[in-house]
A and B are shown apart, each in its own frame.
Chain A
Amino acid sequence: MTEISAADVAVPVVLRVNGNEYRISAEPRRTLADALRDDCGLTGTHLGCEHGVCGACTVLLDGEPVRSCLLFAVQAQSAEIRTVEGLAAADGTLHPLQEAFWRHHGLQCGFCTPGFLMLSAGVLETRPDIGDEELREALSSNLCRCTGYQTIVEAVQSVRDAGEA
């Protein structure tokens, strides 16, 4: 039998996600991504690599875009977490970034989309006047295999230009 280490013993964890409180029990080795998906039922946060490269798992932690596959759930306990499920208004009105991705055809299969939306939201909220070059630089931290990126960039630029984020 494998030995049981402290990392395997579930502990109570409280996560604040999109303004709601989730009381879960998670092993210290459980990633934030897994906790969000499996314990909070928020499967909009996707996993494309689980090693910190693709950015599909990007969520906002106190407003900062982070890769939730690289964080442990226990590390996120005191933070305000935002995921794609919290972007649209409670009445279903899409967030301006969601509208813009739709209008500009910024998605095809949609697997990378939650990560790009959260990345863009984090970037525009902290740097609403970000220049084109810096924006491309910021968006280069996530991967999309379908779109070729141009329409994603155009979508985010349009929201920036309208000052909507």
Chain B
Amino acid sequence: MSWVGRSIRRVEDPTLLCGAGMFVGDIGGAAAVRFIRSPVASGLIGGVHGPAYTIADLDADGVGNIEAVLHRPDYVRLAQPLLARERVRYVGEPVAVVVGATAAEAEDLAEQVELDIEPLPAAVGLEAALAPDAPLVHPAESESNVMVAGEMATPGLVEALEAAHVIVELEIVSGRQAALPLEARGSHAVTERFGGRTTLHASIQAPHMVRTVICDLLGMPEADLRVVAPDVGGAFGQKLPLAREDAVLVWLSRRLGRAVAWIEDRSENLMASWHSREQRYRLRAGFDVGAHLEALQADVAANVGAWPCYPITWGVEPLMALAELPGPYTPEHYGVRSRGIASHTCPMSPYRGVSRPVITLALERLMDIAAARLGVDPVEIRRRNLQSDFPHISPTGLRHDEGTYREAMELAVSHVDLGAFRARQSAARAAGGPQPGIGICTFSERTGYGTPAFAARAMGVTPGFENVEMSMDPSGYVTLRIGASPHGQGLETALSQIVADELGTDPSRVRVVASDTDRTPYGWGSFASRAMVLAGGATHLAAQKLAAQLGSLAAEVLEAAADDIVLADGRATVAGTSVGVDIAELARIAHHHTQRLPAGAVPGLSANAGYDPGGTFSNACHVAEVEVDPDTGGVSMRRFVVVEDAGRLINPMIADGQIRGGVAQGIANALLEEVVYDEDGNILTTSLMDYLPPTVAEIPDIEIMHLETLSDATVTGAKGLGEGGTIGAPAAVLNAVNDALAHLGVELNEMPATPERVRAAVRAAAGGNSAGETNRSTQEAPVQ
């Protein structure tokens, strides 16, 4: 009986259920750190007065600057100080730092600090930052606010567009959003009085990477810094990049020789951690008479904020859009220009799905609009355009391994019974009042990519591989040390299932050690839907090696051939016989009676493995059903269906949890969540009264079905699915909103589709105005 494929309960849970988890804020015993942040979006620092440390103190200690680098000609390279130097560039930028014995004392000290800043004009939104006379965010380093730009076109694109039967043009806008982990960021640093080693506990996703960069900045050997990610209360990409604050904490603790802690509050988190996804896509697409997408041209602009994030750089959103925009479709001709535009706003980090929620929104709106123009059903147009020959090589050279794009869609639409829905919709249209709508979204999710994919980006550091170290102790229990850094995904449980199958043991006899640089091999952490594929693959390979060691030892003990040994149910047996020995006994022998080992065998039982695959694509189809009130602009979710193909499911319960959580975020991204700045760069959404994550009232039950195409691109057959829910849901929801109001001539291509934007689109349709223009001017905070 296999453990892989079973929904066993998570080993992570009992501790968390009893309130015995250890999050950064639970460590205690430290002086409290508070950052003094810029109150203005742009300005020159005249002076900092009061009991605070500033960049001058860091400079005096020789602390370096952060350099997030892409080796490409069109990339603006900067040296970012840990605290603002000379200039501030966004509201919330850390300028100074105070240390108090208690949080209350630190707050009092912070109040005594005076910032003398001469305000300057700020460039806030995309349009303002692109204007010819825009204030420059980095005037010394760049003559414009374009920080990174990429361009490509296949030969023949222009001719193909000219020859198209129908051209569809479309502008898609995504508001700025925040990943909003329920636990904000935070860190705790303590330096040993003797020996001088520092331990940093931080709420982060990639502890080894953080150790490297902090040691580079502070000029210290990596062996002198231990970085631990204890329990992490959600991250979703926001805790992947280096936090300047975490580096400052290590410096403070070494300088002061005391334990220091910084616990970010919610308004800091919303104002000054990281934002994501403020993007605009302009598409021009040529379809032939058979409704096939022949040529796709795109202009993408991403507001990348005031600074790049390390190590992912300014390029993360715009260059992903460039590379992945054709999505699951197969245009022969593709051309794109994609730019990252700096502005006087909070820097951007990857957030679950990164650019793909907006890429998918653009493509799926395109398909629906083209379908209407060409008089084809939305399902039919996708049927004709989705990938079906594998491997498919995209115009940007991405290899799509086998997937079930069409099959997933067919299954989803047959499950929702489109015919019955359309009948209900006609009745509702006749009756007036709130209108039902349905939206389809098909997409691919690029997952599990290792070094080759990152190397292609020419990053200053190239993430990629994952390593694991596995050993069996004399009691027969397995310890698995991983470089990945799970934080709520259930990876420990899933890995224990993989180990259990290979070693013929029980998952309860596996202990996974993660997120501590002192106790784990170097690795890149958990992000980009990669941990199950990479750490899972490395675990699978290491377990095979350990199984071979157990097999040859059992062969020796049982006087049989190693090839005949079967490991199952805690025993090593000779195939086809009842002759066997307990694995626990083999573990004893391997450590305590090594005279019985085969000649030349190394005492003990351990195996290391690394895994570094080229990557794979999961695919899914989402169908959303909504009800829209044209009079109030209110949208409510009625139904949500997901058909997901993520290859082999290690633990279906955990996979479904990832999908549900991802879809909930995607629905909220589509309808509710938006970070709003005024034109001077003051942020208006700094509490959960203004920035609106969903409650249970906004999220319907999510019906999930699985297809399992076992990928030849990964050793376990698993593909990864951590981001898919968030990638597909916004497009499904916006297509549904548009479908609900199609009879009114409404076209709404901006997310979040707040009541104000829906109303504006309805008014624009009634007045014959361009919905796009009306929507752009709507900047009020959304209401629930």
Chain A positions within 8 Å of B, measured between CB atoms, are: 2, 8, 27, 29, 37-38, 42-51, 53-54, 56, 83-85, 87-88, 94, 98, 101-103, 105, 107-114, 117, 136-137, 139-153
Contact = CB atoms under 8 A, between A and B. Distances in A.
Interface string B369-385: 00000000000000000
For the complex, would chain B's binding face be called helix, strand, loop or mixed by DSSP majority? loop
B265 A98 contact: no
B472 to A, nearest CB: 27
28 contacts: A42-B19, A43-B26, A43-B28, A46-B233, A50-B265, A51-B689, A54-B266, A85-B19, A94-B18, A98-B18, A101-B17, A102-B14, A108-B661, A109-B16, A109-B231, A110-B12, A110-B16, A110-B488, A113-B16, A113-B17, A143-B695, A145-B181, A147-B657, A147-B660, A147-B661, A148-B661, A148-B664, A149-B695
Contacts of B18: 44, 84-85, 87-88, 94, 98
Contacts of A145: 180-182, 234, 236, 661, 665, 693
Nearest to A44: B19
Interface stretch (B389-397, B531-539, B696-704, B754-762): B696-704
A155 B696 CA distance: 14
Contact of B266 (A2, A48, A147, A150): A48
Which among B12, B15, B696 has the greatest number of chain A C-beta atoms within 10 A? B696
B743 to A, nearest CB: 31
Contacts of B489: 108
Given A44-B20, A109-B231, A147-B664, 16 more contacts: A44-B21, A50-B265, A53-B688, A53-B689, A83-B19, A84-B19, A102-B13, A102-B14, A108-B489, A108-B657, A140-B695, A143-B693, A143-B695, A149-B699, A150-B701, A153-B696
Contacts of A137: 697
Given A2-B108, A94-B17, A110-B12, A51 B687 contact: yes
B654 interface: yes
B487 interface: yes
A49 B266 contact: yes
Contacts of A143: 182, 688, 693, 695
A146 B725 CA distance: 11
B206 interface: no
Given A53-B689, A113-B17, A137-B697, A47 B9 contact: no
Contact of A49 (B104, B688, B696): B688
Contact of B19 (A2, A45, A49, A139): A45
B142 interface: no
A51 B266 contact: yes
In the A-B complex, the 10 residue pairs with the smallest Cβ-Cβ separation, listed nearest first, are A44-B19, A110-B16, A111-B233, A109-B488, A84-B19, A148-B660, A148-B664, A53-B688, A43-B26, A149-B696
Interface string B215-259: 000000000000000011110100000000000000000000000
B454 interface: no
A140 B695 CA distance: 5
A87 B688 CA distance: 28
A135 to B, nearest CB: 9
A111 B186 CA distance: 14
Nearest to B22: A43
Interface in B255-269: 265-266
B769 interface: no
A16 to B, nearest CB: 18
Contacts of B28: 38, 43
A27 B540 CA distance: 55
A114 B13 CA distance: 12
B154 interface: no
A89 B625 CA distance: 44
B696 A136 contact: yes
Interface residues of B, number: 57
Contacts of B568: none
A110 B699 contact: no
Contact of B657 (A48, A54, A56, A105): A105
Contacts, number: 169
Which among A38, A83, A88, A147 has the greatest number of chain B C-beta atoms within 10 A? A147
Given A43-B26, A146-B488, A49 B17 contact: no
A139 B696 contact: yes
B688 A51 contact: yes
B183 interface: yes
B2 interface: no
A3 to B, nearest CB: 10
A97 to B, nearest CB: 9
A129 to B, nearest CB: 19
Contacts of B664: 147-149
Contacts of B21: 44, 110-111
B64 interface: no
A8 B107 CA distance: 13
Nearest to A94: B17
B183 A108 contact: no
Contacts of A150: 660, 699, 701-702
Nearest to B25: A47
B697 A54 contact: no
A143 B21 CA distance: 18
A107 B108 contact: no
Contacts of B663: 148
A84 B26 CA distance: 15
B113 to A, nearest CB: 12
Interface in B620-674: 653-654, 656-657, 660-665
B444 to A, nearest CB: 22
A136 B182 CA distance: 20
A44 to B, nearest CB: 2
A61 B23 CA distance: 24
B112 interface: yes
Nearest to A47: B25
Nearest to A45: B19
Contacts of B231: 109-111
A105 B111 CA distance: 44
A152 B725 CA distance: 18
Given A43-B19, A53-B689, A84-B18, A140 B657 contact: no
Interface in B65-112: 104, 108, 111-112
A117 B265 CA distance: 23
Contacts of A38: 28
Contact of B13 (A84, A110, A144): A110
